[in-house]
Structures are given as C-alpha cells and as structure tokens.
Amino acid sequence: MAPTPPSSPPERSQSARIATWALFALVVFTMLAVFSNNRPTGDEVSYNEYINRLKDGAVETVTRNNNNGEIRFELDDDSDTVFVTSGPIEAPVTEQELLERLPTPTADNPDIGANFITPTQSPLVQLLFVMLPFMLIIGFFVWMQRRAQGQMGGIMSVGRSKAKTYTTERPGTTFDDVAGYDAVKREITEVVDFLKSPDRFSEIGARTPKGMLLVGPPGTGKTLIARAVAGEAGVPFMSVTGSDFMEMFVGVGASRVRDLFESARKMGRAIIFIDEIDSIGRKRGAGMGGGHDEREQTLNQMLAEMDGFEASEGIIMMAATNRPDILDPALLRPGRFDRQVVVPLPELEDRKEILAVHLKGKRHESDLDINVIARGTPGMSGADLANLVNEAALFAVRSGEKKIGMRHFDQARDRVLLGIERTSMVQTEEEVERTAYHEAGHALCAAVQANHDPVHKVTIIPTGMALGVTMTLPTNDRHSMDKDEAEAMMVMAMGGRVAEQLVFNESSSGAANDLQQATNIARRMVTEWGMSEKVGPMSLSDSGPVFLGGDMMSNKAGLSPDTARLVDEEIRRTLIEAEDHCRHLLTEHRNGLDLIARALLEHESISGDEVYRLLNLSGANLELPGNTSLTVADAEAKSATDSTPSDDTMPPPPPAPVSDLETAE
C-alpha cells in the first residue's frame, strides 16, 4: 500500500520565484548576446596566400580589424567570395605598401580598397557584463535566505508527526489478501463495521473499543491485518512506528503525539496504527534513572490523548507488539487499549492458505502437495512460509529445473531449519560409523514409541552445526504435551548416547545437545508442569521478563534447600528412567539398530519410510504412520527385491566436525 500523493503542490516562496525568473532572464540574455555577435564567416586562407594575392593585384577589397588582426578580403573576379585570414594586429610595412596600391574608393564603388575598422561589442554583451556581477550577488543572497528558511523550517517541524497516511483512493489491502486467521478477522470485523456505519452503534448506545492491540510472535502478519482493516473500512490509515516518536530534543516525542492525534481528528473517521508500540509503551518507573525520561513523557502524552477521544469521532487506535507483558498497565486499561487480539502462529489449515498465496505466480509441478508441506512446517509464521517458498524456488533454479517440486521444498525446509550441508568436511571412518549408530538410535527410539512423532528423515551428512540429523514430522499441530509424550521425547533424545554405549562401550561429546534437551524437558516436567508426584502440583519456575531496575531490585522468594534438593533428585530420577527405557528399546531391537546404521553408512540419508521398513524386517512389526507412503505389506514386498546393506559397506569419508554438538530433532 503506497501513501497517497499530496492533493496540490506546495506554494513556492517569493524568493524561489525571483530566483527562477532571474535564471531564465540570464539564459535568454546570454543567447541574444551570442547571436548578436554571430557575424558570417568566409573561406579561411593563410596569411601568406593573402600577401601573394595582394602582390598579384587580384585583391579588390580588404577589411582589417584593428582589435584582433582579422583580415577579410574579396577578389576582383566578381565571385563575391569573402576570404578570411589572421595576421598581426599592426600591419607590417610590406603589407602596408601593398595595401597602398589598392584602388581608392569611388562614389560608384565605395567599398573597394583598404578599410581599417575598430569594432565595438554589442550593447547586449556590454550590458550582460555589467549586470552579471550584480546578478551573482543577488543569487547568492537568495540562496542564503532559502537555506536559512529551510533550517528554520526543519527546526520548527521537528515536533510534527512522521506518520504515513494511506487514504481510501488506494486501499491496497483487504481481508482477502490475508490468508487464514479467520478467528482474528471475525474479531476485527467489529471495528470495520463501526467505521463503516457508526450510527448503528450510537443508536443503541453501544461503545466500541477505542484501542485494539494486536499481539503475536514476529512474522505473523500483524501490520498486514491492520492495513486490511483500513482497506475494508475505507477510511484513512495513519501508520507510524514507536521509534518515530523518539528524538534527541526534549519534548519532541510528546509533541509528535499531539500532532498525530490532531491530524487524525481533522480526518474525521480514521485509524491510527502504531507498530512496535513496546518501544515507547514500556512500564514506567522500571529504569534505573527514575521516571522522568523522554520515553515516559511520550507515553504520558499518548495516554492523555487516547483518554480524550469520544466514540462519535470515529478514530480508533491500533497497535502491534510481540511483547505485551512489558507494556504499562495504564496503556491496557479500559478506555485505551482495552481489547487484545492474539495473532498466533498459523495452524495447519492457515498454513495451507498462506502457502497457496505465496505459490501464486510461481511455476510448480502439478503434483505439488500443499498438505504435506503445511504439515511439515509446524511453528512457522507467515514470514517463514514466504521464505520457505522462496528458498524452494532458489533450489529449483540452482538445479536447472523449470518448476518447483516437492524435493525442492524438502531441501528448503532442511536449509531453513538445520542450515546448509557441509559436504566439504572430512571425517574418519570411525567418526562416520559412530555418527551413523548415534542417529540410528534416535530414529529407532522415535519409530518404536507410539507417543512420538513419526520419523521423516535421517542423515549423517553434517548440516549446520550438527554432524547428523534425525527429523520427525508431526501428524498434527501440538498445542499441549502430556506426560507420556514428554517421556517419549526424552527417550528419543537419549537414543544416540545409549546407542553409542551399546555398540562402542563408551560415550562421545556428540550427545551434549541431546542431554541438554532431555534435561530441559525433565526440569519443566518437575518445576512447571506438575508431573512429579513427590514435588506435587507446584510451579517452581522463575522464568519471566526482566526489567532493568525492576526485577533486579525485587526480592524473589527462592527455593528452600530441601525443595531444591528434591527438585534435583526428581529431575535426575526422570532422566535415569528415560535412559533405562531407551536402553531397553535399543537392546530389544538391536537388529533394527544395525540395519538402520548400515543403511546410513551406505546411503548417508534415508527416509522415514525406509526406517520403518528396516525395523519391520528385523521383526519389529510396526504399524506405519500416516505420513509414510508405504504399508507393512509394501515393505515386505519391497524387502524381497531390495538387498540388505552389508557390514563391509562404508561411505566415502564425508566431513569432520566443526562442533561436537549434534541435533536430535
């Protein structure tokens, strides 16, 4: 959406008009002077040829310029041709003697003979040289005056609002341009109805919210939704960011707030949108230097302006932030931003619509399955999905293909979530084998547990900061987690470390990130989720926003030594139980672990379907999840034709770790 151009050009100052006319007159005057001195020229000859013609008596008329030595002469052959040459300013004796031989002018022919002239400059040229210094002086003073006025105008306008105004002539964005978020649209439709027909609300005595706060993670489209409201309502939309109110001068923020609301009142019905309002709306009194800084004065002025609105004015405030917990309570009370609209991360259906919007205008294969792509992108915002589509298009271009396919989306998702593959890294055979069993342990624990997400892909190619990756693909969006699912995630995280212990009788530093993930889950189970019987239904988490000078000075009640000891014991017990269960699963399915590791050593990357097929070959008898394309019968039929990887098959050495961290999911 582009800002509407001004309705009429601004009035030019008197000095600007004078300077323009002076410049125009100077150009015209110069052209006249030049053309007035533009005398016709003749055929140029050398001075020696001119002297020879004089000696031969062929010259009839000579006109000599005493200022520059220019000589014009005509012959006596009735050709009327004028010859031009240049000689000394003062004619030499030889030339003077020859000129004296020329015939003298007569009444019938007064132009013949020798003529000595001293021409003067054109009056226009003389006037130009006289006026030019004065014109330069006048122009200098006009330039100085305009510069001083511009500086003064800039100082006087520092308190004006920097809001960009979008009018009804270019609505640009409507709800049709916002894919998904039907619940958010229904919530905001009330604002659109009020701006379109305020009489319906005033007749019954209803009062619409004066302020609406859009809350959500970054990239969810809060600004886009605010523009869609203005486009649907057909009213002016004034957009400004929180940082636009801050300036080096004291009081500028409050002045800009006053100017912003005054401009909105002149428009009648309008929407004021403040993006990133948390930059000026933080809690007052939370700073170390007291509560009289420029930011807090700006917030005070905004609170006063919002409270002075009347519902009949038709002006609604909208703001966006991803940190509502740090906003001042006075900003969120009724009468100001009294309604919060949560713009969450898109759900599965929302992601389908968003992907469809971003795929418009892009050439893709007909069998491209948006459902699979949407299901494999949980937790991605609208901006992340747009970046995913663009990355897939880039992969298609790099591979020399004309259309985007599913394989390009798989590559793009790996690139966005995991990082770029480090194919240039070199590892020893022992490191590659250890990584293969490590990832095989993760994949096996994820596959055999019914409460864990299905395995999607396993690779031992170093990617990002990981030496290998086991990816799982959820069948549905998860909004909560029960105890069984949390324990399954810990078991899966322990799979790599336990697999190394079973095969190599030792552990490696590659399990550092796995232990960190498992410990974090266990700690939250005990301290936040109430999943420990000994600790009981208590929330012992101290996580929360930290304000400089606020929480630093607060006296939080810490845990008693007995409670802290109990928490540590429960976390340790939970982790040990997960490790024991993981060791039991890997021991029970040891043949499947070896098959998966051999397949990784041979192919470096295998799909989730291949993981389940190999486990079924080892006697696991697993039911294939819904995200796989193989059934158990297909796996058995395929196993009759496929050859099992041999023990002596080793891949070419792929890369040595830059980091010992290894990502489990």
> What integer is the mean pLDDT of 551-565?
64
Answer whether 388's CB lies under 8 Å from 413's CB. yes
Note whether 323 and 361 are same-domain residues. Answer: no
**Alpha-carbon 593 to chain mean position:** 45
Q: Does residue 27 sit within a domain?
A: no
Residue 154 is assigned to a structural domain of this protein: no
Q: Are residues 397 and 451 in the same domain?
A: no
CB-side neighbour CA atoms (13 Å) of 371: 5
CATH number of 188's domain:
3.40.50.300
pLDDT of residue 2: 39
pLDDT band at 1 (very low <50, low <70, confident <90, very high): very low
Q: 451 with 484: CB under 8 angstroms?
A: yes
What's the pLDDT at 309? 53
| Band (598; pLDDT cuts 50, 70, 90) | very high
Q: Determine, yes or no, domain membership for 257.
A: yes
Residue 155 CB neighbour total at 10 angstroms: 10
With beta carbons less than 8 A apart as the criterion, state whether 163 and 200 touch: no
Which CATH number characterizes residue 60's domain?
Answer: 3.30.720.210
Q: Is residue 155 part of a domain?
A: no
Domain boundary among 321, 342, 363: 342
152 inside domain: no
Claim to verify: residue 96 and residue 206 sit in the same structural domain: no
For the segment 71-98, the average pLDDT, to the nearest whole number, is 78
| 499/412 same-domain check | no
Domain extent for 244: 164-342
- For the CA atoms of 646, 649, 654, 656, what is the dihedral angle to 10 degrees? 80
Q: Identify which has the larger pLDDT, 313 or 643.
A: 313
Mean pLDDT of all residues belonging to the chain: 74
- Res 659 pLDDT > 70: no
Are residues 254 and 172 located together in one domain of the fold? yes
**With a threshold of 0.85, does the pTM exceed it?**
no
183 lies in the same domain as 242: yes
Last residue of a domain, one of 99, 120, 141: 120
Q: Per-residue pLDDT tens for 262-271? A: 777 777 777 8
Residues 403 and 322 grouped into a single domain = no
Q: Are 490 and 511 in contact (CB under 8 A)?
A: no
Instruction: Decide if pLDDT at 498 tops 90.
Output: yes
Phi-psi region at 657: left, alpha or beta (left = phi > 0; alpha = psi -120 to 50): beta
Residues 387 and 245 both lie in one domain:
no
CA pseudo-torsion sign 275, 307, 249, 266: positive
Residue 6 lies in a domain: no
The domain that holds 401 is classified in CATH as 1.10.8.60
Are residues 337 and 205 both part of a single domain? yes
- Structural domains counted in the chain: 4
d(CA 80, CA 33): 28
What's the pLDDT tens digit per position in 154-203? Answer: 444 444 444 555 554 455 677 777 777 777 877 777 777 777 777 777 77
Burial class for 301, CB neighbours closer than 10 Å (0-12, 13-18, 19+): buried
State the pLDDT at residue 487.
92
Q: In 3D, which of 99, 38, 94 has the Cα closest to residue 71?
A: 99
Q: Catalytic one among 439, 500, 579, 662?
A: 439
Indicate whether 444 and 469 sit together in one domain.
yes
The answer to whether position 355 is within a domain reads yes
What is residue 578's predicted lDDT score, i.e. its pLDDT?
93
Any domain includes 476? yes
The tens digit of pLDDT for each residue in 457-488 reads 898 888 777 788 888 877 777 778 888 899 99
Per-residue confidence band for 493, with pLDDT thresholds at 50, 70 and 90: very high
Q: Is the pLDDT of residue 490 over 90?
A: yes
Of 208, 259, 254, 255, which Cα lies nearest the Cα of 238? Answer: 259
Domain boundary among 120, 151, 181: 120
Q: How confident is the model at residue 645 (pLDDT cuts 50, 70, 90)?
A: very low
Per-residue pLDDT tens digits for 385-413:
888 888 899 988 988 888 888 888 888 88
Q: Is 421 a catalytic residue?
A: no
Q: If DSSP codes are grouped into helix, strand and coil, which group holds residue 317? A: strand
Split at pLDDT 50, 70, 90, the class of 89 is: confident
pLDDT-above-70 percentage for the chain: 75
Average pLDDT rounded to a whole number, residues 307-331: 74
User: Same domain, yes or no, for 320 and 367?
Assistant: no
Q: Are residues 112 and 230 in the same domain?
A: no
Q: Which domain CATH number covers 629?
A: 1.20.58.760
